[in-house]
Amino acid sequence: MKDFLNKREIIETITPVIENTAMRYGLIPLEISLDKESGKNFLRIFIYSANHNVSHLDCEKISRGLGDMLDELIPFKYYLEVSSPGLDRKFKSEKEYIIFKDHNVIIKLKNSIEQTSEKTIEATLKDYNESFGIKVIYNNQELIIPMDKIQYTKLNDKIEINKNKGEKDD
């Protein structure tokens, strides 16, 4: 079997199943990847919750909810890994710019832009548009940054997450 050629097709087939299962638990899959490492296939799903920090219980719910359905759709042995994306993870899709609207982000620019000489900025993500890029608030100013000027973006919400430390999820 040519796993490489079928990888995209398998991802397209399983994505709606994963999205529907995650939605049942109030979760959002940010990334779904199927990778071959040391001769083993790994299906990795990174999930996010707008309401709480992702817990081991959330990951377990997704794993159990998907189990048999994925086995029917993936024609080879694989290892399933479900986790949160983590704070230091770089955005990997345009969907994340939409999901993390109004969150604090760190943006590493390829080159400095007109409005700032800085190559790394901490800002609040306000909007994403495929044609113009992202709109952020940086130093109390609104900036528009074209996507081709961005090397990477990642969350900078450590303060907000620590603020909720010790609270129990329902």
CA pair distance 87, 76, nearest whole angstrom:
32
pTM above threshold 0.85: no
Q: What is the pLDDT of residue 101?
A: 92
CA pair distance 18, 145, nearest whole angstrom:
32
CATH number of 3-83: 3.30.300.70
More confident residue, 84 or 114: 84
Each residue's pLDDT tens digit, 18-46: 999 999 999 999 999 999 999 999 999 99
Question: For the residues 126-155, what does the mean pLDDT come to?
Answer: 93
Each residue's pLDDT tens digit, 49-105: 988 889 999 999 999 999 889 999 999 999 999 998 877 889 988 889 998 999 999
Pick the CATH number of 94-160 from 2.40.50.70, 3.40.50.720, 2.30.30.100, 3.30.70.20: 2.30.30.100
Domain ranges of the chain: 3-83, 94-160
Q: What is the pLDDT of residue 169?
A: 44
Q: Is the dihedral of CA 39, 43, 48, 54 positive or negative?
A: negative
Domains 3-83 and 94-160 share a fold: no
Q: Worst-scoring range by mean pLDDT, 78-92, 136-150, 154-168? A: 154-168
**Burial label, 6 (beta-carbon count in 10 A; 0-12, 13-18, 19+):** middle
